[in-house]
């Protein structure tokens, strides 16, 4: 058995699997392996993809597999979680640009098969409704990759008093604006709004794969896995999904109390 990754369990059911990895490289390789299995196991694979720094290593591994000829993107369709609003897809701070830079420009994907919510739409509410209609039409993605915000957000579903179902326009919280400011020249440049898949859109995925690393995520991960299901920790809803894999490093696992290494 590999010693650099250990499955954890809370002994209460198998719908949420937790893999704790020694380092970010292992985490990225394991996450990429799961995504690759979905691509290789479906004739017309549909991936739900995420931005943020957490999945960058996973994308690097997918690119490597594509280069080595073990992973073919020619039939892959993708749907991204979210986008800043207002921002043009060519803006280098946009999530569309991020995806091109970190994945799409390096693999044999047909860009017509790539979907990112339109952060530049004249009618942003309609852009949300149209995106949700597309997700309904495909019947949910085969696997949704997620990161997690320090405050437990997924996509841009921020902590609030209700779970919002469909793709919608979001006001970003101060903590998210601050956390994401590192990607911008100055904090005033961070958009204060976004368009994001909702909790319902995310839960439509057949499988969910969440990756997180670093001590800054430890609290959010513990609340997600072991806390009450509440819209104040949006990721906690994942406890109700039938097929979730959470891949984290030891620092992000540090606050877990109920989840222990499998015997």
Nearest distance from C-beta of residue 232 to ligand GLP, angstroms: 17
161 labelled catalytic: no
Nearest distance from C-beta of residue 117 to ligand GLP, angstroms: 11
Of the residues 66, 102, 151, 213, which is catalytic? 151
**Which range touches ligand GLP (CB under 6 A), out of 15-23, 49-57, 223-231, 249-257?**
49-57
* 148 touches 108 (CB < 8 A): no
123 labelled catalytic: no
How far apart CA 120 and CA 115 sit, in angstroms, is 14
| 52 binding ligand GLP? (CB under 6 A) | yes
Going by their DSSP bridges, the two strands 168-171 and 193-196 should be labelled as: antiparallel
Task: With H, G, I as helix, E, B as strand and everything else as coil, classify residue 115.
Answer: strand
Closer to ligand GLP at the Cβ: 75 or 241? 241
Of the residues 61, 83, 132, 158, which is catalytic? 158
What is residue 45's DSSP assignment?
Answer: -
Structure tokens at 238: 């994942």
DSSP assignment string, 179-200: HHGGGSSSGGGS-SEEEE--HH
Nearest distance from C-beta of residue 208 to ligand GLP, angstroms: 13
* Residue of 50, 135, 143, 209 that binds ligand GLP (CB under 6 A): 50
For ligand GLP, the binding residues in 139-168 under the rule CB under 6 A are 147-149, 155-156
Nearest distance from C-beta of residue 40 to ligand GLP, angstroms: 25
Nearest distance from C-beta of residue 203 to ligand GLP, angstroms: 15
Structure tokens at 251: 């620092």
Q: Give every CB contact of residue 54 below 8 A, 6+ residues apart in sequence.
A: 147, 148, 211, 212, 213
82 labelled catalytic: yes
For ligand GLP, the binding residues in 167-196 under the rule CB under 6 A are 176, 180
106 labelled catalytic: no
* 180 touches 155 (CB < 8 A): no
**Which range touches ligand GLP (CB under 6 A), out of 31-39, 50-58, 106-114, 184-192?**
50-58
**Peptide bond just before 90 cis, omega within 30 deg:** no
Q: For 163, how many CA atoms within 13 A lie in the half-sphere containing its CB? A: 17
Where along the sequence are the contacts to ligand GLP (CB under 6 A)? 50-54, 81-82, 147-149, 155-156, 176, 180
Q: Which residues are catalytic?
A: 82, 151, 153, 158
């Amino acid at each position: 058995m590999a010693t650099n990754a250990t499955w954890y369990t809370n002994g209460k059911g198998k719908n949420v699997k937790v893999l704790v990895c020694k380092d970010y490289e292992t985490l990225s390789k394991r996450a990429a392996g799961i995504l690759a299995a979905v691509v290789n196991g479906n004739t017309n694979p549909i991936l739900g993809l995420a931005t943020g720094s957490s999945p960058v290593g996973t994308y690097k591994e997918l690119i490597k597999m594509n280069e080595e000829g073990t992973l073919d993107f020619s039939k892959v369709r993708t749907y991204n979680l979210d986008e800043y609003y207002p921002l043009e897809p060519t803006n280098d701070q946009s999530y569309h640009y991020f995806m091109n830079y970190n994945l799409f420009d390096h693999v044999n994907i047909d860009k017509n098969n790539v979907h990112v919510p339109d952060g530049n739409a004249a009618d942003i509410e309609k852009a949300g409704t149209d995106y949700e209609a597309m997700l309904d039409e495909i019947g949910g993605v085969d696997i949704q990759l997620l990161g997690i915000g320090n405050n437990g957000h997924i996509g841009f579903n921020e902590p609030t008093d209700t779970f919002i179902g469909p793709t919608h326009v979001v006001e970003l919280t101060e903590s998210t604006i601050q956390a994401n400011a590192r990607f911008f020249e100055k904090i005033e440049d961070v958009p204060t709004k976004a368009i994001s898949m909702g909790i319902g859109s995310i839960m439509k995925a057949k499988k969910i794969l969440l990756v997180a690393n670093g001590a800054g995520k430890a609290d959010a991960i513990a609340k997600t896995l072991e806390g009450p299901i509440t819209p104040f920790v949006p990721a906690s809803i994942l406890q109700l999904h039938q097929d979730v894999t959470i891949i984290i490093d030891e620092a992000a696992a540090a606050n877990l109390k109920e989840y222990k290494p499998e015997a």
